Every structure is written in C-alpha cells, then in structure tokens.
Structure 1
Amino acid sequence: MTRGAVMPSGLIQVYTGEGKGKTSAALGLVVRALGHGLRVLLVRFLKTEQPQGGELAFLAGADGLEILNSGLGGIRQKADRELLRASVGRTFAAVKERLAQDQFDVVVLDEINGALHRDLLDLEEFLDFLDQRPGDTELVLTGRNAHPEVIARAHLVSRIEKVKHPLDLGIAARRGMEY
C-alpha cells in the first residue's frame, strides 16, 4: 500500500472521560488500521507491562505495529512521582524520535491525557508536538482529564461516561474482560 493512499490527512482524536473503554476504542482503531495495511505506533503511558492484556498478547508481532511501553505503571500503583515523570519523559522523547525517523500512519498515545493531567509531561511541549506533527499522521490520545487545549486542537473528541463500573461493586479486573 502506498503511504497516504488511504489517509490523505491525519487528524487528532481524543478518547477521554471517566468511563471504561477509552483504550479499547483506540485498540479497535489500531486493528482496523492494521487491517488496511497502515503502519501503527502504539505507545502505552502509565501502564505496567504485567499482567499483559489480552489485546497486547493478540497484537504482539502484528505486521505494521510497533509498541512502546513506559513500563512503570502509575494509574493505580503507588509509583514514585519523579520516576514516573522520568519514564514518561523518556517514552515521549522516543515517540518524537520514532516519528522523525520513521513514518507512521497512526500513532496512539494511550493514557497521555493522564500523564499531562498529573504534570508528568510538560503541557507546552506536548502542544508544540501536536502543532508540529506530521500532517498525514493520525494521532489518537486516550485517558481521563483531557486538557482543554488538547481538546481544542482535536478533530474528534469522544467523552466516555461512567454510569456503572464493576470496581464500584468490589469486582476486580477480570482476565479477558478488563485486561
């Protein structure tokens, strides 16, 4: 497939809100893009590598997919703030380097909104990244608390609302359903 044949211009998509399904929506888009032969970079912030979710086990080694992990977690874990900040910074630097070296059709920055909300990444640096991204690369940004300036730059924003959640009932994350 000729790069750009399917996507003449890349947009910014944001999946945010308190509800479950932001990452799942982004991964559905990844599967769709891979099915059309597009090159995808999936970057996971604030998530541990273990236990590996079923979606990553399924996608690992998929042709056209590269996965970067910050590797420290931080959504529910009690990770040291400075270690988290350093991990997010290194991972974001790797993203910028990968985009400068390679061309990706789709880049998913999973939980980037949470990293920005917790001030683990400089907002101005990130907004500059959005403004200077390759014009034909689709960016998908997930996580709660999307910053208003990120939302303002986005072309698509989906706010996923929580109505009920199993955690509220004391039901832990289940293999095959939540991971």
Structure 2
Amino acid sequence: MDRKIVQVFYGAGKGKTSAAVGQCIRAASLGQSVIIIQFLKGKDAEEFNFLERLEPDIKLFRFEKSNGSYDELLDSQKKEEKQNILNGFNFAKKVIDTGECDVLVLDEVLNLLDWNIVSADDIIHLIRSKDDYCRLVLTGRSLPAEIAEYADVISKIELEKDLLDS
C-alpha cells in the first residue's frame, strides 16, 4: 500500500475502541504489524488486557501510571499524568517517523483535545508527518472539522439504547 489511510471512529456511543481493535485483528491476520496506544484509560484498563496475549502481532502501550481513568483523578494527579500522556503522544510521533508499524491506533486521542492536553494542530501534524504507515486509526467522542478534513474513513458511533447502564 503506497498511500496512508486515516480512519476515525468517534461519537457518544460505545464500541469505538472495539471497532478499532477489529481493524487491528484484521491487519494482523494479513501479516501487518500493529501498535495500539491507549490514552486516558489508566494503566489498568482491563477491558483490553487480552490484547497483550496477541503480542508480537499487536503491541499495546499505555503510558499512564494511575490505575483509574484520567477524568477520575485529582487535579494534582492530572498534572503528573498529563506528562505521561504527552510521552505517549510523542511515542506515537516516533512510531510514525520510524515507520515502526503498518497500523497505528491512537485510542481516545481525540479526547485529549477536551482536556487541553494536545491541540487539533498537534493531531494534524501527526497525521501529516510521514507516509510510512498504511493506516492510522483515531478514536474519541468528538471529531473537530479541521481533523475530519484529513480522514479518509469516518464512522460515527451513536448509542440508541443501553439497558445495561440503567
């Protein structure tokens, strides 16, 4: 593949990460190398710990040190965690710069905008930085128009009904 693809899963519904992971499993089954970097979920996000069993085909990285998600932290903890998250974002830049994988998933990266951890320009710069990957997958709750311009595939995931949370 000689052109990069930028794919986005966004919206208020559940399943954005699951959809991105589905892309990863598909890519790995085709012999492509896959890296997932998760943001804002804490180091103990158990819902996808099973992915660690898929290494080395799918590599999962979390840079946060806190057990809980970012929104549950005290302000003093958020300051330290913000630096850890930025380390993860910088790692994503390095992965792209070095062409380390075929598919790179930045799970919840769009939510970093809501917390003012990165800017839309930071994400756009990451998208535009280098063509050494086949697919870049971004997830999050909202998708700013300026980032949407760079996406080739956009899937909005909305919740219609959820009896499990009632």
- Tell me the CA shift for residue 56 of structure 1: 2.9
Q: Is residue 23 of structure 1 aligned with residue 17 of structure 2? A: yes
- Off by >6 Å, runs of 4+ in structure 1: none
User: Which residue of the partner structure matches residue 67 of structure 1?
Assistant: 60
Unaligned runs of 5+ in 1: 1-6, 170-179
Retained in 1: the 8 A contact 2:52–2:60?
Answer: no
* 2:41 partner letter: K
User: Which residue of the partner structure matches residue 43 of structure 1?
Assistant: 37
* 2:7 partner letter: Q
Please give the alpha-carbon distance, in whole angstroms, between the structure 2 residues aligned to 1:93 and 1:51: 21
TM-score, normalised relative to structure 2: 0.86
Q: Is residue 56 of structure 1 aligned with residue 49 of structure 2? A: yes
- Tell me the CA shift for residue 154 of structure 1: 0.4
* 1:23 partner letter: T
- Tell me the CA shift for residue 17 of structure 1: 0.4
Please give the alpha-carbon distance, in whole angstroms, between the structure 1 residues aligned to 2:49 and 2:146: 30
- Tell me the CA shift for residue 102 of structure 1: 4.3
| Percent identity for Structure 1 against Structure 2 | 28
Please give the alpha-carbon distance, in whole angstroms, between the structure 1 residues aligned to 2:132 and 2:152: 13
1:155 pairs with one of 148, 152, 155:
152
Please give the alpha-carbon distance, in whole angstroms, between the structure 1 residues aligned to 2:130 and 2:87: 18
Unaligned runs of 5+ in 2: none
Please give the alpha-carbon distance, in whole angstroms, between the structure 1 residues aligned to 2:43 and 2:30: 27
| Secondary structure class of the residue paired with 1:60 | helix
Alignment of 1:71-150 (within 5 A): 71=64, 72=66, 73-74=68-69, 76-80=71-75, 81-150=78-147
Distance 1:87 1:163, change over 3 A: same
Please give the alpha-carbon distance, in whole angstroms, between the structure 1 residues aligned to 2:79 and 2:164: 28
Distance 1:31 1:79, change over 3 A: farther
| Secondary structure class of the residue paired with 2:159 | coil
Count how many residue pairs are aligned between Structure 1 and Structure 2.
162
User: Which residue of the partner structure matches residue 3 of structure 2?
Assistant: 9
Please give the alpha-carbon distance, in whole angstroms, between the structure 1 residues aligned to 2:58 and 2:132: 20
* 2:73 partner letter: K
